[in-house]
Amino acid sequence: MTSRFKPDCSRLDTPPPPGHARWDGTLLGKALKVSADRVWKIFRQLGISLKRRRSWCLSTDPQFTEKAAAVVGLYLAQPENAVVLSFDEKLCIQALERAQGWLKMPDGRALTGFAHEYKRHGTSTLFAALNVATGQVTGGHFKRKRRVGFLDFMDRLVALHPGKEPHG
């Protein structure tokens, strides 16, 4: 038996009722005046999962389109005598030292591996740059995120590409 009821999924685009963080089958059933079981059955048939999250950011910058087009243009058509680099940073990386050694088994064999215990050595920062044309990645590792470390990393990148104008 097939159901003729199709839930109004556009309702999911509206905020949930007060006191609820998100829609679920029970809330949607109440809003549409049908049973929650019926809503869940239709959702299963249509492959809809209310817990799956897909998100993206929308820019409020009125010049976003022009700026994005300029970046994509750099990626697709690199200027002559230039290098196009894409940068990223990873902050607060845990610097952990795991205990490694040999474990003597009762039968006389020995196993090597890492123990579950570790020693903390603070955190560190990683800067990375991808050369868009070649795919080469250059990294820099620093104890802290500071302007001086970033400028050192940038100076190193410029030195790797002598006579080329960097674009990032």
Write the pLDDT tens digit of every residue in 98-137: 766 666 778 888 777 666 677 777 788 889 999 988 999 9
Higher pLDDT, 65 or 1: 65
Q: What is the pLDDT of residue 112?
A: 72
CA distances from 61 to 67, 73, 82, 86, 88 (A): 9, 19, 28, 21, 21
Domain boundaries, the chain: 9-46, 78-167
Whether residue 7 has pLDDT greater than 60:
no
Whether residue 159 has pLDDT greater than 90:
yes
Buried b (16+ CB within 10 A) or exposed e, 32-41: eeeeeeebbe
Q: What is the pLDDT of residue 1?
A: 46
- Give the pLDDT confidence of 9-66 residue by residue, as tens digits: 677 778 888 888 888 888 888 888 889 898 889 888 888 887 776 677 788 899 999 9
- Would the pTM count as exceeding 0.75? no
Considering only CA atoms, which of 48, 7, 49 is closest in space to residue 30?
7
Side chain identity, residue 21: A
